[in-house]
């Protein structure tokens, strides 16, 4: 079997690049190891409206399970800070539908898909990648000029291509989540909880869906005294006001890579989405960045295929374009993360007082001057902020 472009993985990154490449007129094949695209989900399913607008993506209505107008942040003692405004509006997706819809859109443009088909390895001969795969009919080989690694956080494609994709263990959040029915929370908001005892070096969340809620948390192992699952059980037990009559209907777990490494390409290989560890390092959201990386990668791949030059040097244009768009912001967000990781519970309480009525969205977008100004009256926090944010 021969194709112009082989995509490994049919998550949001894989289906977007498949659609783009098929639209450019290339033969595209997508391999997905799961038997059902979109399931099981490993995601709280939150996505912003302005992010979708930026990428020009109009969701099929069935992809939307909840509509939200903002976020409520909770300090360890329960003080609330409400965030609203256009930038905070968003959706909670039904990912099982969303991912199938993305695949259907790619298929309409001509992409081919194989489900329950796992890529097993690849080797390069005379400028062509030979990818070994297995499905229920057995093992087979696909020849292609371009392999796209859209194979998520546990990506193998980069390693197979000889890229150094290893990150520090401290740069992965462990995520665990119940989807629960009968939660008593305001369904117009996502709810975010901070605290060393709640979710060390991370946060807990409640995201509303049509008739259920995603209730989960992400932690960094280095700050944790127990497993993420135990923190989640404790969180649910300690918040009767939300969960007195709630029951789980699904459980999900997964890793979130919260730091990005730089090598996203090799000869005839591009990594997109979580495979290139492109999530937002503050909140761990990766769907938008995964889709955006695929749009940028497809533009570069199209030029490269037209010129029949799939060299690493040529494909590096994708890295450059990505950095142009995201590097400065990501670097600032990494500093903000380092600052947040230093905060004790008492600091979160102070922040909750200080930030009442503030535009926290601007802060999470790394407009740090606002935060520094606000901290003038809290010398201990100001010192920390200066150390980690302005370094």
Ligand X SMILES: Cc1cc2nc3c(=O)[nH]c(=O)nc-3n(C[C@H](O)[C@H](O)[C@H](O)COP(=O)(O)OP(=O)(O)OC[C@H]3O[C@@H](n4cnc5c(N)ncnc54)[C@H](O)[C@@H]3O)c2cc1C
Interface residues toward ligand X, by CB under 6 A: 8-14, 31-34, 42-47, 118-119, 150-153, 156, 175, 177, 216, 252, 254, 256, 273-275, 279, 284-288, 290
Q: Residue 79 or residue 233: which is nearer to ligand X going by CB?
A: 233
Q: How far is the CB of 176 from ligand X (least distance, A)?
A: 7
Furthest-apart CA atoms within the chain: distance in Å: 68
DSSP state of 126: T
Sheet holding 64-68, edge to edge: 46-48, 90-93, 64-68
CA distances from 54 to 238, 273, 292 (A): 39, 17, 9
Integer Cα distance of 10 and 118 in angstroms: 11
Query: From the CB of 9, what's the least distance to ligand X, in Å?
Result: 3
Ramachandran angles phi, psi of 253, nearest 5°: -145, 150
Cβ 146 vs Cβ 268: under 8 Å: yes
Nearer to ligand X, 150 or 351 (CB): 150
Of 288 and 305, CB closest to ligand X: 288
Smallest gap from residue 281 Cβ to ligand X (A): 12
Q: Write out the two tokens for 58.
A: 């109009």
C-beta closer to ligand X: residue 200 or 285: 285
Q: Which residue has the tokens 């898909």?
A: 113
Please, what is the minimum distance in Å from the beta carbon of residue 157 to ligand X? 8
Closest CA to 269 of 304, 241, 236: 304
Task: For ligand X, give the closer residue by CB, 151 or 347.
Answer: 151
Looking up tokens 């709630």 gives: 246
By C-beta, is 171 or 345 nearer to ligand X?
171
Shortest distance in whole angstroms from residue 384 CB to ligand X: 27
- Residue number of the CB closest to ligand X reads 286
Using only C-alpha atoms, what is the Rg of the chain? 21
If the CB atoms of residues 19 and 156 are measured against ligand X, the closer one turns out to be: 156
Least spacing, CB of residue 286 vs ligand X, in Å: 2
On the 0-12 / 13-18 / 19+ scale of CB atoms within 10 A, 97 is: middle
Beta bridge partners of 6: 29, 147
Least distance (Å) from ligand X to the CB of residue 201? 15
């Amino acid at each position: 079997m021969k194709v112009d472009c082989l995509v490994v993985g049919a998550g949001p990154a894989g289906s977007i690049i498949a659609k783009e490449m098929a639209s450019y007129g290339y033969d595209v094949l997508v391999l997905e190891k799961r038997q059902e695209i979109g399931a099981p989900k490993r995601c709280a399913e939150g996505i912003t409206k302005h992010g979708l607008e930026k990428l020009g993506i109009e969701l099929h209505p069935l992809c939307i399970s909840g509509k939200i107008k903002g976020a409520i942040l909770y300090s360890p003692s329960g003080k609330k800070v409400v965030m609203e405004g256009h930038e905070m509006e968003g959706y909670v997706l039904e990912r099982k539908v969303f991912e199938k819809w993305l695949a259907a859109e790619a298929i309409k443009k001509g992409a081919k898909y194989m489900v329950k088909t796992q890529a097993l390895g690849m080797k390069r001969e005379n400028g062509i990648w030979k990818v070994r795969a297995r499905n229920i009919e057995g093992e087979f080989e696909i020849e292609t000029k371009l392999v796209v690694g859209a194979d998520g956080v546990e990506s193998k494609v980069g390693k197979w291509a000889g890229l150094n994709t290893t990150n520090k263990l401290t740069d992965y959040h462990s995520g665990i989540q119940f989807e629960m029915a009968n939660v008593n929370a305001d369904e117009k908001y996502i709810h975010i909880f901070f605290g060393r005892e709640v979710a060390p070096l991370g946060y807990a969340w409640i995201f509303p869906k049509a008739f259920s809620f995603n209730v989960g948390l992400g932690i960094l192992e280095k700050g944790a005294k127990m497993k993420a699952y135990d923190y989640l059980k404790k969180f649910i037990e300690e918040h009767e006001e939300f969960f007195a009559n709630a029951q789980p209907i699904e459980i999900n777990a997964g890793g979130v890579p919260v730091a990005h490494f730089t090598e996203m390409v090799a000869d005839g290989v591009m990594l997109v989405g979580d495979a290139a560890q492109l999530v937002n390092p503050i909140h761990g959201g990766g769907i938008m960045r995964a889709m955006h990386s695929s749009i940028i990668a497809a533009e570069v791949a199209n030029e490269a295929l037209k010129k029949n030059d799939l060299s690493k040097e040529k494909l590096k244009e994708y890295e450059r374009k990505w950095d142009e768009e995201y590097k400065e912001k990501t670097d600032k967000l990494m500093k903000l993360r380092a600052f947040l990781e230093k905060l004790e519970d008492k600091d979160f309480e102070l922040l909750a007082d200080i930030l009442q009525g503030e535009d926290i969205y601007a802060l999470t977008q790394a407009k740090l001057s606002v935060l520094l100004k606000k901290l003038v009256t809290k010398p201990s926090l100001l010192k920390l902020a200066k150390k980690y944010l302005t370094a």
